[in-house]
Amino acid sequence: MKKGLLVIVAMMIFVAAHAQIETPVRWSYAAKKLNAKEAVVYLKATIQTGWHIYSLNVKDGGPIKTSFVFTPSKDYTVTGKTTEPTPVTKYEKSFSMDVSYFEKEVVFQQKIALKSAKATTVKGKLTFMTCNDQKCLPPDDVDFSIPLSQ
């Protein structure tokens, strides 16, 4: 009887802990070859209603900005900076400053210079912070791998 009760209590704790993990942002990726020497990779964040992620350009003292680090490769090099559409910019009390962010969805783009004609995979890591009107979640790191066909 005690073992059964312990199992039930353990399961309830597990379910409660699992239910508290919030993931209001889902990432997806795509790539488009522009010609034999260039491609663009797309990194799309789909954001749950009520939440937002921050721009690539956030001033010091504000939230953690979204950032991308691309893994060096013998097959490609990153060209220029990652780009973003025009964000929403508003004053946020929690940071006592104007901040720029995205709601619902955003697509970031990065140009890639191809060093060879063979298929390759663009890899890296992105970092972002998610907030809503009540709270901010800790910054999250996500590894990505974007296949780029011939």
Question: Domain for residue 4, yes or no?
Answer: no
Map the chain to HEC letters.
Answer: CHHHHHHHHHHHHHHHHHHCCCCCEEEEEEEEECCCCEEEEEEEEEECCCCEEECCCCCCCCCCCCEEEECCCCCEEEEEEEECCCCEEEEEHHHCEEEEEEECEEEEEEEEEECCCCCEEEEEEEEECEECCCCECCCEEEEEEEEECC
Question: Domain for residue 1, yes or no?
Answer: no
Question: Domain for residue 35, yes or no?
Answer: yes
Question: Domain for residue 130, yes or no?
Answer: yes
* pLDDT tens digits, one per residue of 49-98: 999 999 999 999 999 999 999 999 999 999 999 999 999 999 998 889 99
Question: Domain for residue 57, yes or no?
Answer: yes
CATH number for the domain spanning 107: value is 2.60.40.1250
* pLDDT tens digits, one per residue of 103-120: 999 999 999 999 987 889
pTM: 0.84
- Domain carrying residue 103: 24-148
pLDDT at 139 over 70: yes
Q: What is the percentage of the chain residues whose pLDDT exceeds 70?
A: 86
Confidence class for position 4, pLDDT limits 50, 70, 90: very low
- Please compute Rg for the chain using Cα positions: 20
The single residue listed with the structure tokens 């990065």 is 110
Among residues 144, 134, 146, 129, which one has the least CA distance to residue 50? 134
Q: Which of 10-19, 80-89, 114-123, 128-137 has the lowest mean pLDDT?
A: 10-19
Question: Domain for residue 92, yes or no?
Answer: yes
Question: Domain for residue 16, yes or no?
Answer: no
Question: Domain for residue 9, yes or no?
Answer: no
The count of domains in the chain is: 1
